Structure 1
Amino acid sequence: MQPRRQKRLFAILLVIGLLTGAVAAMLYALQQNIDLFYTPSQLVDGLGKDKIKPQVGQRLRIGGMVVAGSVKRDPESLKVSFDLVDTGPLVTVIYEGILPDLFREGQGIVAQGVLQDATTIKASEVLAKHDEEYMPPEVAEALKGIKHVPPSQQQPASGSY
């Protein structure tokens, strides 16, 4: 092979290698910034037909309705915990900070944070719905026609004993 062709081949291989490295670095960086959206049911039961559940330590967003009577505040700090619900299971959100002004029980919210265990999220951010008309499309679809009845008010199934 002629020296001129060797230089061209080396230059082309170098450019391809640098582009591959740049794309790999971008994908790795984006992977750590992806926050998947879940509802409480999807978090507990799994997502999709394969019922894939998030792993402990994974960053995610969760949206649902704040269960009435579930908000617990620590009198010594800004720590707050509350339960979220959509169609069934409850998920507990733990947050340390000042909640949005529009946050209240029975309100639709979206929390961003890290999964602590199967039903607990340690939130770094809590967003409350800003008016009566708007709700994120994913939350609106998941909550369509759903009303949560607290366990204390549920009727026992007949013949279950």
Structure 2
Amino acid sequence: MGLNPIAENLFCETDDGVHLIGGRCSDCARVTFPARARCGHCHGTSIVDELLPRRGTVWTWTTQSFLPKAPYAGPETEDDFAGFVVGYVDLPGACRVQARLDVPVGQAAQRAAIGTEMESVAIEFNVDEEGRPIHVYAFRPVTPAAAHQEAHQ
């Protein structure tokens, strides 16, 4: 895919897809995302980078219907901002992550329902000065839209 992440050390691409990069405290084993220099639980400073599980479940979600304030660096203006879905995804054995959910705003109630299985992906967010896509991490439903709709009819 040739990812151009919006920031370093947030996510990477491996043979099995996009993984977020978290930090596990060597003292208490707590995992955070993004990784920090100091553990928020025990204040330990021995943090080891760890690829987080690609799949998790929606804990909660909402829609972002207004243009975020700076430092938001998206290509939209207040006049053309269409909104997006954001949520928290529980990653088993790791942590809960806030992220964009890659589902249409109008389908969020069905496609991002609490408990829906999601997987980490990279989506195009903007372009840099050289015209290359800038990517952000997001989560997308594991079940394709058509199969998801059939299962809930």
> Could you say which TM-score interval applies, normalised by the shorter chain?
under 0.3
Normalising to structure 1: TM-score of the pair? 0.22
Normalising to structure 2: TM-score of the pair? 0.23
Higher share in strand: 2
Higher share in helix: 1
Say which structure, 1 or 2, has more relative contact order (CA 8 Å, 6+ apart). Answer: 2
